[in-house]
């Protein structure tokens, strides 16, 4: 069988911009999208993002193919691929891919998959979301774009509300804000028995953060706004 970690280490990261198509022994096909050596999206059947990648990692791969990265693929996976592999498969898998990143030259003369300003914006978003993940009491972060919610980060062993429910909540709060003549509701917080739900919007992107109950809410809110300011 073909080792997916080896493919990412020896093929995808060095090539930087590519689409890796893998086929499981059952005949199921999966697709991994890499931009500037970063995994930005994954897909099989109707499943996308981190959920798709976590499933593809478990496959017994019989065939693979590399091709050019299609235009217009938006980033849905924000964690570094080596960190994901280390989380799911262990330290050795993460270190193998990390070594491929360390071997990349400092300069790159190949064709970029997107304009420099797009790459800069993607990096800013990633840093913003990672900054929020590092805040005390963090539980999960959902990204809402084009009416669809995606789970980007979460702690282990916590029951989370469905992405569809959070997307609906974000839309309803937006409708309330519009009806009050103040635009969308930004920086709102909803208390539940299990966690606190924080709702933000920057430049058309919805961000929902779940945290443990906390007393210093103003500190978390200030840090979240500071991290998300780069998206304006």
Is 39 in a helix, a strand, or coil? strand
Reply yes or no on whether the pLDDT at 111 is more than 70: no
Reply yes or no on whether the pLDDT at 156 is more than 60: yes
Rounded Cα distance between 69 and 98, Å, is 21
Q: Convert the pLDDT of each residue in 196-220 to its tens digit.
A: 999 888 766 788 999 999 988 888 8
Residue 179: pLDDT band with limits 50, 70, 90: low
Residue 119: pLDDT band with limits 50, 70, 90: low
Q: Convert the pLDDT of each residue in 17-28 to its tens digit.
A: 999 999 999 999
Please answer whether residues 208 and 141 qualify as being in contact, where contact means their C-beta atoms are separated by less than 8 angstroms. Answer: yes
| pTM for this predicted structure | 0.57
Is 26 in a helix, a strand, or coil? coil
b/e per residue, 71-86, with b = 16+ CB within 10 A?
Answer: eebebbbbbbbbebbb
Residue 144 backbone dihedrals phi, psi, to 5 degrees: -120, 115
**Spans of all domains in the chain:** 4-102, 116-231
pLDDT of residue 227: 86
DSSP 146-162: TTEEEEEEE-TT-----
Reply yes or no on whether the pLDDT at 30 is more than 50: yes
Q: What is the mean pLDDT of residues 3-20?
A: 93
Highest-scoring range by mean pLDDT, 6-10, 93-97, 145-149, 227-231: 6-10
Residue 198 backbone dihedrals phi, psi, to 5 degrees: -105, 130
Q: What is the mean pLDDT of residues 31-54?
A: 92
116-231 to CATH, choices 3.40.50.1950, 3.30.450.30, 3.40.190.150, 3.30.460.10: 3.30.450.30
Q: Is 45 left (phi over 0), alpha (psi -120 to 50) or beta?
A: left
């Amino acid at each position: 069988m073909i080792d997916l970690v080896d493919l990412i280490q020896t093929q995808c990261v060095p090539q930087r911009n590519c689409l890796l198509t893998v086929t499981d022994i059952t005949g199921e096909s999966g697709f991994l999208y890499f931009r500037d050596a970063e995994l930005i999206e994954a897909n099989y059947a109707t499943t996308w993002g981190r959920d798709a990648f976590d499933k593809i990692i478990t496959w017994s791969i019989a065939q693979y193919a590399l091709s050019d990265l299609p235009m217009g693929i938006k980033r849905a996976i924000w964690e570094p691929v080596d960190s994901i592999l280390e989380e799911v498969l262990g330290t050795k898998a993460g270190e193998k891919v990390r070594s491929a990143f360390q071997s990349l030259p400092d300069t790159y003369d190949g064709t970029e998959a997107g304009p420099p300003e797009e790459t800069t914006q993607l990096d800013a978003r990633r840093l913003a979301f990672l900054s929020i993940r590092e805040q005390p009491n963090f539980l999960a972060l959902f990204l809402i774009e084009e009416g669809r919610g995606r789970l980007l980060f979460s702690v282990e062993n916590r029951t989370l509300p469905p992405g569809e429910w959070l997307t609906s909540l974000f839309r309803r709060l937006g409708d309330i804000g519009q009806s009050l003549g103040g635009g969308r509701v930004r920086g709102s917080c909803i208390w539940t028995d299990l966690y606190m739900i924080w709702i933000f919007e920057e430049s058309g992107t919805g961000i929902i953060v779940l945290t443990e109950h906390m007393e210093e809410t103003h500190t978390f809110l200030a840090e979240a706004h500071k991290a998300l300011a780069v998206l304006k």
